Chain A
Amino acid sequence: MSLTRASTDELLQLLDSREVSAVEVATAFLDEIEARDEQIGAFLTVDRDGALTAARTADERRAAGESAGLLGGIPVAVKDLVCTRGLRTTCASRMLENFVPPYDAHVVRRLRDEGAVLLGKVNLDEFAMGSSTETSAFRRTVNPWNSEHSPGGSSGGSAAAIAAGLAPLSIGSDTGGSIRQPASFCGVVGLKPTYGRVSRYGLVAFASSLDQLGPLSRDVSGSARLLQVIAGHDPQDATCLNVPVPDWTGQLEQPLEGLKIGVVAEQFADGLDDEVAAAVRAAVEVYRGLGATVEEIELPHARHSVATYYLIAPCEASSNLARYDGVHYGHRAEQFDDMVDMYAASRGEAFGSEVKRRIMLGTWALSSGYYEAYYLKALKVRRLIRQDFDDAFRRVDLIAGPVTPTTAFRTGELTGDPLAMYLADIYTSIANLAGIPGISIPAGISQAGLPIGLQLLAPSLEEDRLLRAARMYERETNWHTRWPASL
């Protein structure tokens, strides 16, 4: 079996039994990236030297009989929105094209501590603003299942790298669906943890109250293991929860007894593609076949989620991105008249149009006279959406539904219609607004040969339930073992 086709568990088995070395594993993926990423476009920076050094360390530890860590020798690709010490972190923006952080993000520290081999930094929509990875200032990432289609976004590079066999694991970030939607489009597993489960320290902020880092992988076990490594309290993030981290990998194979699955009828109404609807219904039937009961539930305020999301996220983004002003680091215009003009010219030159659109939306909505009508009202609706989930989870254990209204759209199909692009976040952004965990798992292939995802949502801090339920489905199906025909 090719190393680059192996799952995380299989790789660990090979490494632990010393059948292959971490250097061999890293080399296999690095060579694969070199051979095929020109076509896929997943990576913005490949760190061959750093990866091989980390791989050698993992090998040395194993040779010395020491523990190599939970991810000893396992390659990981990291979304280029996460700070890596000494390694360029661009956020796919001209603004930070040459920015080299002097520090590691908390998750990167955790990865290094557990022996992971960082392959490099992967592509995204500029500052994670987008759902197609098309707003990246640097390169186009294609969907490995069909190069004319988008890999989704904003963690498009993270999902495409796994779908194309360029990495077994990757780190993404999810503000309104940015892990789950590309996972769904690319036929891989992607999990957005509970808000506060994973430290945001070193994750370049898009919308602070919604952003959450999470794993992407070939199978549920890979995501469980990666989450195991990155989750947990960090005193450097005041919003990071100080709660115990359960043993997700250890409990993964235990099925859930008496599972109650909720289905939101409204999610199957207008706008949902027939093939996606059928695949999700079939997945629900799989659970019924495993002894779960299925109940229709309502999320009365969910229909306002996109409107709410597209006020809160741009408001926070307008503030978070104000620091990119060309004074202390990042792009500075060469020609300007005075200080104000220096700000305007630097920002005008270096930000792409989607980022500018959201900064303007947010700046306007926070302005005196509009704040109450927009931002404060959005916060109130957000509370109602949370309340909807609280009510729903009193009746059911999990909510199953679609991740996206359609399979991966064509590259360029929605770039001229930002509103249509925003509306595609309808099923995912509710989880960010409510702060609850959600997972996307492969659950079908369309007639056009594009993957379909199933979304499961669980109450806050119930990642255990989410992972075990996902694993129950995965055991019964083989969607996660499919590879794009082109490979």
Chain B
Amino acid sequence: MDHQLIVGLEVHVQLLTQSKLFSGCINRFNPDEPNSQTDPVTLGLPGTLPVLNRRAVDLSIRTGLALNCEIAPFTRWDRKQYYYPDLPKAYQISQYDLPIAADGWLEFVADEETGERRRVRLIRAHLEEDAGKNLHDDSGRGGESRVDLNRCGTPLLEIVTQPDLRSAADSRKFLEELRLLLSYLEVSDCNMQEGSLRCDANVNLKVTTDDGHEVATPIAEIKNLNSFRGVEAAIEYEEQRQLEEWQRTGLKMGDVGGEKETRGWDADRGITFSQRGKEEAADYRYFPDPDLPPLTVSAEWLEEVRATLCEPPADRRERLQAAWALSAYDASVIIDRGRRLADYFEEVARLCGDGKQAANWVTQEVLRIMNDRGIEIGDFPISAPVLGTLLERIVSDAITVRSARTVFADLLEQAEGSQPVTVDDVDRVIDAKGLRKVEDTGQLEAAADAVLARNAKIADDVRGGKTNAVGPLIGQVMKEVRGADARAVRELLLKKING
């Protein structure tokens, strides 16, 4: 007996709009002040009406285009009806049979070493309003349940994949690539902890029996996975559970008792658990919302949005390797940290003309400081033009890498003192500290001769084979000629001693 894991994902993405999908009410994550981000429309008060936030459609189209989808020229809004306390209208405005985007795909890198990409087909992406949140008393003392409607009405794009994923690790990698793309598109902040990116996984197995028959196990939909680790672990767990269940019961998809099941993920215990009885298939009584006119997406609108697209991170990762001779690792470190850092890197690389040098500085110095301070590149005190100029001085051999570190530290200090750092500060600091490499060989020669004359004993030792003894002499020369390159001084001294 053999088996193959089959996974399809439903990914819910909260869109970064100023206001909610159908009202002017502010849209922001704010769990500390429940029900403060509401208005009569959000509360579903009698007499209120929805009005579409076109910005949310812009962001949905942008996402759809980046996911290689067809964008619907004509779509509409449907009411999905069910009773739940976090849904004050008792219906969710969604898109039932005419999603804004359909038939797309996204590739993810399945193998870091070889760069092998795998393609996951996307069935659809539709726009809908998020529900609020029910907060239950977890103490077990039967306290009151409460409802927070801050989240209610937030624009939510639901992206549904074909069941193209074949392992838990792939599922995680796909989701990470999707998250990265969405953050590059600046359509969502994709924070899984805060719920702006949520994932449900549809999981089952294709079992090949010993006599060569292929059968499918019942599908389980695992709800509300709120971390990448959780996605991978839940699918891994479910694969084992379904395999054991199959071996125990032989229950197949389509059998009585083999209907699709909704399961939750208990991250603490590392198990999935049955949430909703299989027989309770809901009838949502979808029908077109009479409060909202259908939506026509004109060719002009589509082109307007297309102009806001950016290079997808997967392509950019490959391009950085090719254009700037980066390792796959360095390219990933830069790309994965987000579009603004990639922009920063590329500007630095262009200005200094050396991708490797730029990558070293960005992935080491810049990222280290960003991580230490917990800031993003937009708040980093040394701009790309400044760093690019500084690195150009290394590349053009005007200063040493070591001197550049000194200048960098100095510029950071200047920024601490709330003095904005400009490009001009680079050369000013180099000169003030006398770090510019001395190109006047005459001055160096004179200094070397003087130092050798004072240290004939050491020169003899060196000549006798103790090459390392030249060290103190280098220091003396450099003391006399500030900005001299140590390696050049060493060579000069050795040449003079050894004739």
The minimal Cβ–Cβ distance linking B435 to chain A, given in whole angstroms, is 62
The minimal Cβ–Cβ distance linking B91 to chain A, given in whole angstroms, is 6
Q: Hey, which chain B residues are within 8 Å of A101, CB to CB?
A: 40, 45-47
Query: B83: which of A235, A237, A325 is its contact (CB, 8 Å)?
Result: A325
Tell me if A316 counts as interface (CB < 8 A to partner B).
yes
Tell me if B287 counts as interface (CB < 8 A to partner A).
yes
Known A315-B287, A366-B285: A323·B293 in contact at CB below 8 Å: no
Docked-complex contact A83 and B44, CB < 8 angstroms: no
Nearest opposing residue in chain A for B45, CB measure: A101
> Which of A47-55, A144-152, A196-204, A393-401 makes up part of the contact surface?
A196-204
* Residue from A91, A102, A208, A325 with most neighbouring chain B CB atoms (10 Å): A325
Find residues 306-346 in chain A having any chain B CB closer than 8 Å to their own CB: 315-316, 319, 322-325, 327-329, 339-340, 343
Q: Hey, which chain B residues are within 8 Å of A339, CB to CB?
A: 85
Q: Hey, which chain A residues are within 8 Å of B51, CB to CB?
A: 235-238
Known A319-B79, A368-B285: A208·B44 in contact at CB below 8 Å: no
**A102 to B44 CA separation, bound complex (whole angstroms):** 12
Tell me if B90 counts as interface (CB < 8 A to partner A).
yes
* Residue from B49, B83, B88 with most neighbouring chain A CB atoms (10 Å): B49
Known A102-B40, A322-B81: A201·B45 in contact at CB below 8 Å: no
The minimal Cβ–Cβ distance linking B54 to chain A, given in whole angstroms, is 11
Q: How many A-B residue pairs have CB under 8 A?
A: 95
The minimal Cβ–Cβ distance linking A237 to chain B, given in whole angstroms, is 5
Docked-complex contact B91 and A322, CB < 8 angstroms: yes
**A325 to B51 CA separation, bound complex (whole angstroms):** 24
Tell me if B300 counts as interface (CB < 8 A to partner A).
no
**A371 to B283 CA separation, bound complex (whole angstroms):** 11
Tell me if B89 counts as interface (CB < 8 A to partner A).
yes
**A410 to B43 CA separation, bound complex (whole angstroms):** 41
Tell me if A363 counts as interface (CB < 8 A to partner B).
yes
Docked-complex contact B89 and A322, CB < 8 angstroms: yes
Query: A204: which of B47, B88, B89, B283 is its contact (CB, 8 Å)?
Result: B47
Find residues 131-178 in chain B having any chain A CB closer than 8 Å to their own CB: 147
The minimal Cβ–Cβ distance linking A29 to chain B, given in whole angstroms, is 26
Docked-complex contact A99 and B46, CB < 8 angstroms: yes
Q: Hey, which chain A residues are within 8 Å of B83, CB to CB?
A: 322, 325, 340, 343
**A367 to B90 CA separation, bound complex (whole angstroms):** 16
Q: Hey, which chain A residues are within 8 Å of B465, CB to CB?
A: none
Tell me if A375 counts as interface (CB < 8 A to partner B).
yes
The minimal Cβ–Cβ distance linking B323 to chain A, given in whole angstroms, is 48
**A473 to B88 CA separation, bound complex (whole angstroms):** 48
Tell me if A96 counts as interface (CB < 8 A to partner B).
yes
Nearest opposing residue in chain B for A330, CB measure: B46
Q: Could you give, for residues 66-91 of chain B, a 1 whenever the CB lies within 8 Å of some chain A CB and a 0 otherwise?
A: 00000000000001010101001111
**A99 to B40 CA separation, bound complex (whole angstroms):** 13
**A366 to B89 CA separation, bound complex (whole angstroms):** 17
**A99 to B88 CA separation, bound complex (whole angstroms):** 15
Nearest opposing residue in chain A for B282, CB measure: A368
- Contact-size category for A: 35 or more
Q: Hey, which chain A residues are within 8 Å of B49, CB to CB?
A: 200-201, 236-239
Known A202-B47, A205-B47, A235-B51: A368·B90 in contact at CB below 8 Å: no
Q: Hey, which chain A residues are within 8 Å of B88, CB to CB?
A: 323, 327-328
Q: Hey, which chain A residues are within 8 Å of B45, CB to CB?
A: 83, 101-103, 329
Nearest opposing residue in chain A for B89, CB measure: A323
Tell me if A105 counts as interface (CB < 8 A to partner B).
yes
Docked-complex contact B47 and A327, CB < 8 angstroms: no
Docked-complex contact A319 and B81, CB < 8 angstroms: yes
Tell me if B353 counts as interface (CB < 8 A to partner A).
no
**A185 to B281 CA separation, bound complex (whole angstroms):** 48
Nearest opposing residue in chain B for A363, CB measure: B285
**A237 to B45 CA separation, bound complex (whole angstroms):** 15
Tell me if A89 counts as interface (CB < 8 A to partner B).
yes
Nearest opposing residue in chain B for A362, CB measure: B285
Known A238-B292, A371-B287: A201·B48 in contact at CB below 8 Å: yes
Q: Hey, which chain A residues are within 8 Å of B464, CB to CB?
A: none
**A102 to B42 CA separation, bound complex (whole angstroms):** 13
**A375 to B91 CA separation, bound complex (whole angstroms):** 18
Tell me if B290 counts as interface (CB < 8 A to partner A).
yes
Docked-complex contact B46 and A366, CB < 8 angstroms: no
Query: A203: which of B47, B81, B90, B147 is its contact (CB, 8 Å)?
Result: B47
Q: Could you give, for residues 28-48 of chain B, a 1 whenever the CB lies within 8 Å of some chain A CB and a 0 otherwise?
A: 000000000000100111111
Q: Hey, which chain A residues are within 8 Å of B283, CB to CB?
A: 367-368
Docked-complex contact B291 and A238, CB < 8 angstroms: yes
Q: Could you give, for residues 425-447 of chain A, a 1 whenever the CB lies within 8 Å of some chain B CB and a 0 otherwise?
A: 00000000000000000000000
Q: Hey, which chain A residues are within 8 Å of B44, CB to CB?
A: 323, 328
Tell me if A82 counts as interface (CB < 8 A to partner B).
yes
Find residues 201-218 in chain A having any chain B CB closer than 8 Å to their own CB: 201-205, 207-209
Q: Hey, which chain A residues are within 8 Å of B79, CB to CB?
A: 319
Nearest opposing residue in chain B for A342, CB measure: B85
Nearest opposing residue in chain B for A316, CB measure: B290
Known A322-B91, A327-B147: A105·B287 in contact at CB below 8 Å: no
Docked-complex contact A209 and B290, CB < 8 angstroms: yes
Q: Hey, which chain A residues are within 8 Å of B89, CB to CB?
A: 322-323
Nearest opposing residue in chain B for A368, CB measure: B283
Docked-complex contact B90 and A323, CB < 8 angstroms: yes
**A207 to B287 CA separation, bound complex (whole angstroms):** 13
Q: Could you give, for residues 231-243 of chain A, a 1 whenever the CB lies within 8 Å of some chain B CB and a 0 otherwise?
A: 0000111110000
Q: Hey, which chain B residues are within 8 Å of A315, CB to CB?
A: 287
The minimal Cβ–Cβ distance linking B93 to chain A, given in whole angstroms, is 11
**A363 to B287 CA separation, bound complex (whole angstroms):** 11
Docked-complex contact B290 and A201, CB < 8 angstroms: no
Tell me if B52 counts as interface (CB < 8 A to partner A).
yes
Q: Hey, which chain B residues are within 8 Å of A102, CB to CB?
A: 40, 45
Q: Hey, which chain B residues are within 8 Å of A324, CB to CB?
A: 46
Q: Hey, which chain B residues are within 8 Å of A202, CB to CB?
A: 47-48
* Residue from A91, A236, A316, A324 with most neighbouring chain B CB atoms (10 Å): A236
Docked-complex contact B47 and A238, CB < 8 angstroms: no
**A103 to B293 CA separation, bound complex (whole angstroms):** 24
Tell me if B264 counts as interface (CB < 8 A to partner A).
no
Tell me if B50 counts as interface (CB < 8 A to partner A).
yes
Q: Which 6 A-B pairs have the closest CB atoms?
A: A322-B90, A209-B290, A208-B290, A366-B285, A204-B46, A202-B47
A-B pairs with beta carbons under 8 Å apart, 9 shown: A202-B48, A204-B47, A207-B290, A208-B290, A319-B79, A319-B91, A325-B83, A327-B147, A375-B287
New contact pairs (19) apart from A103-B40, A205-B291, A238-B52, CB-CB < 8 Å: A82-B47, A99-B46, A101-B45, A201-B47, A202-B47, A203-B47, A207-B290, A236-B51, A238-B51, A239-B293, A319-B285, A319-B287, A322-B89, A323-B88, A325-B90, A327-B85, A328-B88, A366-B81, A366-B287
Q: Which residues of B contact A (CB under 8 A)?
A: 40, 43-52, 79, 81, 83, 85, 88-91, 147, 283, 285, 287, 290-293
